[in-house]
Amino acid sequence: MNTSMIVNIIGLVVAAAEEVPSIVTTIVKAVESSTSGTAPTAAEIEALFEECKTLNTTIQDS
């Protein structure tokens, strides 16, 4: 991954966090579960997916 891409990703996360503060928590949970070494369970993936759908609705409505 190059520096420009990382800067763009961080910029998008910050912009999203300004719109919907709970998105940061969801992103952190997703990263933690994918880097835990045991991989996320199906239930964890489903829960994160539901959170993402809720956040998407919130973003679309704002």
Q: Is the distance from CB of 8 to CB of 23 less than 8 angstroms?
A: no
Query: What are φ and ψ of residue 39, in 5° steps?
Result: 70, 150
* Angstrom distance (rounded) from CA 21 to CA 12: 13
At 35 the pLDDT is 75
Q: What is the mean pLDDT of the chain?
A: 78
Q: Is residue 1 over pLDDT 70?
A: no
pLDDT in tens, 20-49: 777 777 778 777 777 767 777 778 778 878
Chain centroid, CA 11 distance in Å: 13
Question: Domain residue spans in the chain?
Answer: 3-61
Task: Dihedral sign for Cα 32, 51, 53, 28, please.
Answer: negative
